Amino acid sequence: MKPADIEALVRPNIRALCPYSTARDEYSGPLGIFLDANESPYPTGWNRYPDPHQKALKAQVAALKGLPAECIFLGNGSDEAIDLLFRVFCTPGQDNAVAISPSYGMYAVAADINDVQMRSVPLGPDFSLPAEALLDACDGRTRLLFLCSPNNPTGNAFDPEEIAALIRRFPGIVVLDEAYADFSARGSMRARLAEFPNLVILQTFSKAWGLAALRLGMAFADPYIIALLSRVKYPYNINQAAQELVSQALAEPVDGHVATIVAERGRLSAALPAFGCVRRVYPSDANFLLVQVDDADRLYAHLLADGIIVRNRTRVPLCADCLRITVGLPSENDQVLKSFEAYEKGDIHR
């Protein structure tokens, strides 16, 4: 897809939009007496508005991810970027989007909020990518395609070449959600952004980096798409505290934590099938396991009584009697296995 084709997908009112200009946009010189933004003059530490463009933090992210800053959007969680993509590319009540199913629930919620039809396409056997079915679900009003890889809640990552082939054939914007890519041997498709002007990659600091409470998500794309997202976002979408704390966190590598989580994922994957109540532990490229059991509701209640909170996904399509278990600390995973053992022995909480 050519850049001109991308522009044709943008809502006309967004193409013509004049974004809000902040006081920080109009002055970027040396520090002085700031009387331009109606802020309190009293130095609480937080009395000044944050940088609306997050220049310093984007420079760090650019170095970390190996991308130019103009290819990076920082949002209030990845959910902000998801919502903005609907607002930029989808005319309410007219356009539609396509997504795999089951997958991250916010794609459909954001579609509903923006009055955009979401067309869900079931994954194939063993949760494979249904490329042809996804393309068959498209029509002349399809604007977005959402792929989560590694996928939530199934845990599997799709073949990058399958994804690439789908991006080439899809007539709109492909949104590849890589929230769990740090835990996958397949890695990220970030290095191929220049190859695909219609690709948007989402990543997050909530998982591998352990910064979920700070709500900072990333979108990587062609500079034209990033400029559109920046034009539509609210001016000060990332608060100063989040910018500073994430900046500090980026100075500390997380490779050790990721390696431990991956090792613990392997330990749980090997140990859980020994229990008679476990039918299957699905392969995972994420920081969680999808586990099919004999009676998900009953086992969920037992774990909960033991103080272990997992996610019961039995009512999600293709996930009947499945629990999604996040990989915790080694000591927490020990408790999970002990609770399964008690359940196996009939010491069941009722």
Backbone angles phi, psi at 221, to 5 degrees: -165, 180
What does the pLDDT look like over 305-329, one tens digit per residue? Answer: 999 999 999 999 999 999 999 999 9
Q: Does position 99 have pLDDT exceeding 90, yes or no? A: yes
The amino acid sitting at 327 is V
What does the pLDDT look like over 208-247, one tens digit per residue? Answer: 999 999 999 999 999 999 999 999 999 999 999 999 999 9
pLDDT score at 348: 61
290 in helix, strand or coil? strand
Q: Does position 125 have pLDDT exceeding 70, yes or no? A: yes
Residues 89 and 10 sit within 8 Å (Cβ to Cβ): yes
Domains 3-249 and 255-344 equal at CATH topology level: no
| Cα–Cα distances in angstroms (integers) from residue 210 to residues 7, 40, 203, 258, in the given order | 36, 33, 13, 10
CATH number listed for the domain at residues 3-249: 3.40.640.10
What does the pLDDT look like over 4-36, one tens digit per residue? Answer: 789 999 999 999 999 998 887 887 778 889 988
pLDDT score at 346: 83
Higher-confidence position of 32 and 98: 98
pLDDT score at 349: 55
Domain residue extents for the chain: 3-249, 255-344
- Least Cα distance to 317 among 102, 124, 119 occurs for 102
CATH class of 255-344: alpha beta
| pTM of the entire predicted model | 0.95
Q: Which residues contact 82 (CB under 8 A, 6 or more apart)?
A: 106, 107, 110, 175, 202
